Structure 1
Amino acid sequence: MTSDEELSEAKSAQREGTRYLFSGHDRILHRTSIHTGVPELLDWFGYQRAFIVCSRTLNERTDTIRQLVASLGKRCVGVTDAVGEHSPLSNVLSGARQVVACEADVIVSVGGGSVMDMCKVIQLCVTERTFDRDALLKLQMRMSADGTEMIATSSQPPRIRQIAVPTTLSTSEWTPAGTPIDDQTHLKARFLVTDGAPRGIVYDPDLLARTPLSLLLATGIRGLDHAINTACSTQPHPFTSLMAEKAIQLYVENLPRLRYRTDSEAFSNCQLATWYTGMGQMSVPHGFSHWMVHIVGPLASVPHSEAACVLMLAQARWLEGHAVPQHDNVRRLLGRTGPFSEVLFNLLTELNMPRSLQDLGLNFDQVESFIQPALEHPQVTRNNLRPISTAADVREVLSLVRT
């Protein structure tokens, strides 16, 4: 199929009707300290028994969690930092049991995507009263018949919700989806949780500035990848495309400024970028780079956000000439010329982020091992502006970033 035919199909789908999914957030606090924002949200919603889930680094190497516990007083009924990379299911199940034992009425997540994902699936465990691996895996989400929409298996009203304080930029706070890793298979489990998106969010730029720079930049690229996938969706929506394009502009202009740790405006702008991205990413289908991260990350023990840097670039190169209006819109906002993939390559170079599979430490045999899981994944080979449907296609996309 030619690029003109693909574009015609996308326009035809848009004429037939579009949809927008509101993820269920009730209150967002921007440029607000964690120590005033979380108590304010507990007051606003009427919660009395908060259970905190946080990253181990934040808990052990900073005073943030101790100060939060102090600010909550008797309203804090428990804390755990046993999350781990990709939030393994064993940790999720243990956390769910703790939440029930403490009789918590809300979960407060302080951390990045793994922390928030863990809390979403804890919510599912508590709602369904499911506390063992096999029963939980039966609650994985399913796909719509056309492969464009994720559908929750559980329709039970939530017994508990989450308030999120993000410390990274990958936008997990904006979705009801969680993808913890199965300890036994080392593959991602996929859950869509009813009201799984946080009820409230506190964006604290000063707390964000305490995140290690390399992690912050990498998760910013992951957020950027989400925005690009929204802008280049096979079924675009006018609102989500507009928000995604603005998010891309904010990420590209402000991520380099994060290296100057005192530039508070840059931190706030990057948090705005995650907000703009998150408002649209669940409403339109995403392509290869978004989902391939779920293969490369756990199978190669590579952090999601670092894999996203490379896969985002691979997808941009694959789509050159097949996403012309989308790439033109973004270049216009950025005031840039040349191929869109070159814009991204230059940004990754400036940030000293991985730009190839070799940079991720992956050899040919490892890359080859990704092919079959990618073909078996329900999303990797669907909803791409330029089709990716065979092993040869997957291999060719990955070859674009081999070295």
Structure 2
Amino acid sequence: MLSLIPLKGFYLSEKRKQIVKVNYLVNQINHYKKTEPNNAEPFIAELYAYQNELIEKTIAVEPVLSWFDSNPAHKVRKLIREKIREKTLILRIKELFAATNMTDIYYQYTGAASLRNLIQQRLELIGDKYQVINLDKGKTPLVRVIGEHNESFVMRFIQLNSREEAAGTSARFAREFLVDFAPIAKPYHLAFIEDDDHEVSFLECSKYYKNGSLDTLFRHLRKQLASNIELGQLVLLYAQQLFEFFIAINQKNIWYTDLKPSNILLDNNDHLIFNDIKGLVISTTKKTTSNRVHISKEYYSPSVYTRDNRINLERLQRQTLANTLYQLACGQLPIQIRINEQNWENAYEFSQEIFQNKIGDYLKNLINLLNMKKAVPMTKLLVETRDFMANRKNYANYEFGVNEDRLGC
């Protein structure tokens, strides 16, 4: 979505007049971008004709000039072209599902290795030249489908709790509540398969992100021998986006419980994207039952459980974020030290070289703060991290605000 210009100037002033006209045209472009992108072009043409008029007459006001600088015509037209291609692809996917009875592969599915073959065989039945490639060998297999014109999308099965689906509290509904929130990817097509009173099964098609995940990015950077300073800066830049993500969804009583580098994708602008909805949980309180969350054991500790054996969602989010940042920084997870048969604690090796500079020291203290039971608000951590990154000349003198009374909590 293109941003609007905040209204400024007196009611009849030239400044307000220009802002109102630009905002009107932008609203029209945003509307048609979402519904009928082919109909957006006349408004784009009018918008940039108006820009030329203002410049030729040398009457363009500063808020309007800045908006045009940030949103050049070629960039806006590219967004619309991408939306047109996306809508065309969605229509093609729906046609493929109808022509092949694609959802029937669920009843022939025998395990992760079979998904690619089943989809490939269905597409071959209608003579279309599609290539199907395995992307993930985890618990939820994922494949990429590539068409003859290089258009592509990913496919996977999704199983959701039947009771939560009926109550409107499943991860699918959480995604719908976040429909205008850019970091949450929206499916191209979600086809219902069956409800067996235990799980509701769907076959989902969604966008393929060619830049891969944060896990892929940092593995590549290490192979390229990126410096510890470069890696640390990048970790803190993405930490800010993760803070923003958690703050935004928590305000809507939605939590994300399965954070890890392999679950965080990158779009073409290096913005973070969450395409796997299993980690989304709707809850008006900070606690929920363990059967409602999807978690990876390597990214939390038993301290996320409360005395009544429920899960503290806020604490779980913070621990998964701490372990994610640590893994991005040094390429490994903390060591899990076994206390007894059911309990363990995460041990971080902060003597590694990446933590031996001012950026690394900041990151180390950030990870420690995220692990403390007495939580520092994420809004505060976001502001402090922004300030730290904005004041690089102060790295040598910067002291991170760890409150002593939180230590050992």
Shared fold, TM over 0.5: no
Q: Which has the larger radius of gyration?
A: 2
Structure whose residues are more often strand by fraction: 2
Please give the TM-score of this superposition, normalised by the length of structure 2.
0.30
**TM-score, length of structure 1 as denominator length:** 0.31
